[in-house]
Every structure is written in structure tokens, then in C-alpha cells.
Amino acid sequence: MLILCRKINESVVIDGMITVKVLRIDGDQVRLGIQAPIDVPVHRHEVYEEIQRNNREAATHVRPDVPRLSPPLRSPSAPTAASMPKPTTPTTEQPTTTFAAPANPARAAAPVTAAPCAI
């Protein structure tokens, strides 16, 4: 362990990237300022120990097995994917709809054909 003496507003630089500065001394308590890259985690020792304990516990914790689901129930006449008709390929031709003439012969007229709407 390296032991250094520092006064208020004096610093220690670690690896050229981390700076530890003595900000204030109040009796037996020392206030430090730590400047480090964002990807370097900085924790108080007791917090670091708690994180390590939680990580060890999570890594060794045995999870209960999830019960397997039973296979789906099918009736013998239920269609399967293989028995379903295959979809047809759409054509570029626009479909038209023909309406039947009315049942009243007095109002009989030629069938009406409607063109599809442009979208």
C-alpha cells in the first residue's frame, strides 16, 4: 500500500486519468473529490463490498425449473398447417365488383359495375 500525505486542495493522480483531491478535513473526517472517466466505477468501500456480495449471490443462486407446458390438445378433425390451402399470389389487375339487378322487374336495369377506389 502506498501511503501519501496531502494537505487541503492537494491532489494525487492515478494512471494519468484519475485525480483524488483533499477538499476538507473536519476532525477525523476527510472529504475527498474524485475525478475519473465515466467508465471507471468509483464506490465507497462498503458499497463496493455490497455490490460484490450481491453479484456472487446472483451468480450462485439456483433458479427453480419452470414447469413444461403440455402439448396442445387437438381434435382429430382439426386442420393442420399442412392441410390448409396455400395463399394465392396477388395479381396486379384491380378487381371490380358487380352488383345484381333488383328483384323487382319493373325496376330492372343493367348490372352496375364499380371500379376500385385509388388509395
Looking at the DSSP assignment, which residues form a beta bridge with residue 112? 99
CA distances from 54 to 41, 50, 63 (A): 16, 6, 15
pTM: 0.47
Highest mean pLDDT among 47-51, 94-98, 114-118: 47-51
Mean pLDDT for all residues in the chain: 78
CB of 24 closer than 8 Å to CB of 33: no
pLDDT of residue 25: 94
Provide the phi-psi class of 16: left if phi over 0, else alpha when psi is between -120 and 50, else beta.
Answer: left
Q: Give the residue-averaged pLDDT of 77-91.
A: 67
Confidence of residue 59 (pLDDT cuts 50, 70, 90): confident
C-alpha cell at 24: 476538507
Q: Looking at the predicted structure, is the pLDDT value of residue 117 above 90?
A: no
Query: Could you tell me which residues come within 8 angstroms of residue 26 by beta carbon, excluding any fewer than 6 positions away?
Result: none
